[in-house]
Amino acid sequence: MPYRAPVSELRFVLDHVVGFDRVAATDRFAEATPETVEAILTEAGRLSEEVLAPLNRQGDLHPAHLENGVVRTSPGFADGFAAIAEGGWLGMSADPEHGGMGLPIALTMAVNEMIGSACLALQLNPLMTQGQIEALEAHASKEIKALYIPKLISGEWCGTMNLTEPQAGSDVGALRTKAEPNGDGTYAVTGQKIYISWGDNDFSQNICHLVLARLPDAAPGTKGISLFMVPKRIPDADGTPGVANTLSVVSLEHKLGLHGSPTAVMQYDGATGWLVGAPHKGMAAMFTMMNNARLGVGVQGLSVAEAAMQHAIGYAMERRQGRTAGGAGTILDHADVRRMVLDMKIDTFAARAIAMDCAVALDMAKATGDDAWAARGALLTPIAKAFGTDTGIEVAQQGIQVHGGMGFVEETGAAQFLRDVRVTAIYEGTNGIQAMDLVGRKLMDGGAAAYALLDDLAETDHAGLQAAVSDLRSVTEWMVAQDMQDRFAGAVPYLAAFARVLGAAYHLRAAAADPTRGRLAQVAVARMLPEAQAEMAKARSGAAALFALSSDEIAA
């Protein structure tokens, strides 16, 4: 089944579920009128359906590869990226001062969803560039902004983020890459970075690497990390890429999926770099890019969920197998297949609503300067990332199940969705780390942001939802009172419970706005709220039971 961009569904969620009208009512985003939103979503949908979706299988069958030190990308990817860049989609939310559109993040996420559904391996490239633009806007000098951001927006140059090293995975503070002052305002960056998405390509004039490294006087741990811009080719004063920098792609990873996206091992040998932000404050600058990417990766999970769901429903509506109670006689009339398909629809809708609610909160924070909106966006970010990617994985694997034996056959395309989406629960901070962030950093306010969000949910006139909100408030109070080990032990189920309560609330809002959605909302509430209760019970179980067994007993 060909991918069809869910333009009307995106509009419905923005207009009737997450209150995008509040964003459009601000002075900063006054240009995001209904007519503008419709035009943007329609055109991005057309691009995704007609230009990008045909590339998805090409990227899987013909992976990016390293040839004599040069990355060769999958057939058609260069033209696909050019179409994304020419449409202005790279700089949708970027500052107009440097050539961006200055549009809300919510619209960027909606467009990214469609592009990701069409071809996730290619969409990862713009996602990295968008995150780098935001980081440079927030932390770079005027000179770096003026030189790099316009080129990134135009698509002439691409951006990456370089955090991970072989000995330092999620423990970024253990990195060893060093930066020595050259005496002229630049630095010599030396070290190796791994898992660098789109670390190189054969269609950009330059690749701009944001690299975490340590200055000679740096303190140990994350407090001693600085951030540097290290371009593949050193630009001259006019911005023309000149001499090659002393960096290279050592190898590309052979991956389970996302074959069209080159994941590089990068080597820096005294490469020339420029400091971004203050010395030893690199993590703060990089977290700007990472937080952008975390929401973006949650949307990637949603992207695959939507595409896999469409694929599975198309198959279920055509495949005839066994006897059914009535209807068209296809497998969609079997109760178990219908259960799987409805589960897909329920969770995909919830993941979309969570992501868009998060984006709206970030937009409102930017437009109003209100700390409450910023806190809401920060709280929703790990939920959007973890639930969005978990949903993508679950919907993709259920899609294989709907296809039956044909789902295990590569030619149907069902398996690629699962292979491609699986990494999204790992990169940009594993989903376990997202959950730990939620119960740790995001509850450092004593739970104030969580309680405010729960107050909002409790306004929905539904007894079952209100009871679940009350129980989730109690669990939040329990979390706030515990030490970190007990919080972390229940972090994943706590996040899952929060996501399911949010999802039920969004389904009820949708039904209130459109009564034809009432039946789906009934199914959603009947499934999501009991699941939330089970997750809440696990969230309060504490760490003692996890450590009752010794390491030797676990390994036995």
State residue 125's pLDDT score.
Answer: 97
54-87+119-280 folds as: Butyryl-CoA Dehydrogenase, subunit A; domain 2 (2.40.110)
State residue 537's pLDDT score.
Answer: 97
Q: Please give the Cα distance from 193 to 264 (Å, whole number).
A: 8
State residue 238's pLDDT score.
Answer: 84
CA angle, residues 229, 231, 237, in degrees to nearest 5: 95
Q: Please, are residues 400 and 418 in contact by the beta-carbon 8 Å criterion?
A: yes
Single out the catalytic residue among 134, 165, 306, 428. 428
428 is catalytic: yes
pTM over 0.75: yes
Q: Please give the Cα distance from 19 to 26 (Å, whole number).
A: 13
User: What torsion, rounded to 10 degrees, do the Cα atoms 111, 393, 442, 378 define?
Assistant: 0
What is the residue extent of each domain of the chain?
A: 54-87+119-280, 430-545
State residue 475's pLDDT score.
Answer: 98
State residue 216's pLDDT score.
Answer: 94
How many helices and strands, by DSSP H and E, does the chain display?
19, 11
pLDDT mean values, one per 10 residues, the chain (556 residues): 95 98 98 97 98 98 95 98 97 96 98 98 97 94 96 97 86 88 97 97 97 93 92 92 96 98 98 96 81 92 98 96 79 95 98 98 97 97 98 98 97 97 95 97 97 97 97 98 97 98 98 98 98 98 93 92
Q: Please give the Cα distance from 179 to 270 (Å, whole number).
A: 8
State residue 170's pLDDT score.
Answer: 73
